Structure 1
């Protein structure tokens, strides 16, 4: 599994009816635009950063930073494609949604277990 992101579960608890995007952003410690980038990639597997500029209405550098974060969190995979004229370009594919949902469940289960341990370990004086 990916390195532990900085969870923002407190934000999640403040919402009575969070969207999937909010849950994903809070649990994985990513920004909303990074979650939108992941979701755009779900519909466009094998995309390059240039190919995502239009659909995301973001500049290359913003998309590149988002992809780096998503890659570090284990939410996207990247493959290097050699270009005919030399050089290469990265193509990104989102980790399948069922796998990401499992990662969300596992993260929340670990957090819940930790909170239960804190509660159980509290000794009244």
Structure 2
């Protein structure tokens, strides 16, 4: 009977909730993405200061955003030795395309899932509800 179960990861659609749903992010991660997009390449400290958050909080969000493919990290070598990282957001147009593709794939899969539901499965569900 589990065939008739469809988990809905989102029930309110805003850009923030769609990005959370599509990319598996938290709302704050989305805010960090847009801050990095606004700041262009930026260091973690700069983003933390701008958002008034701890550096470690921004680092966790940056890791989630990198895993989702929404930001890139570039190592900058210091002439005297050492290095630091700058983070850059992928263009929002690319994000929109990823969202549209994911939603299109999801819609196709849901339609296929609905087509595969047998009448006997629906009747069984109704009988279990009564």
TM-score by length of 2: 0.82
Stretches of structure 1 that go unaligned for 5 or more consecutive residues are 1-8
**2:80 is aligned with 1:85:** yes
CA–CA separation in structure 2 for the residues paired with 1:121 and 1:10:
18
Stretches of structure 2 that go unaligned for 5 or more consecutive residues are 1-6, 121-130
CA–CA separation in structure 1 for the residues paired with 2:78 and 2:54:
22
Which of 27, 31, 34 is the aligned partner of 1:36?
31
Question: Rg bigger for which structure?
Answer: 2
Give the number of aligned pairs.
114
TM-score by length of 1: 0.85
Secondary structure of the residue that 2:8 maps to in structure 1? Answer: helix
Instruction: Deviation per CA, 1:46-65: give whole Å up to 9, x if none.
Output: 10101111111110111011
Moved over 6 A (4+): none
Secondary structure of the residue that 1:43 maps to in structure 2? Answer: helix
Would you tell me which structure has more helix in proportion to its own residues? 2
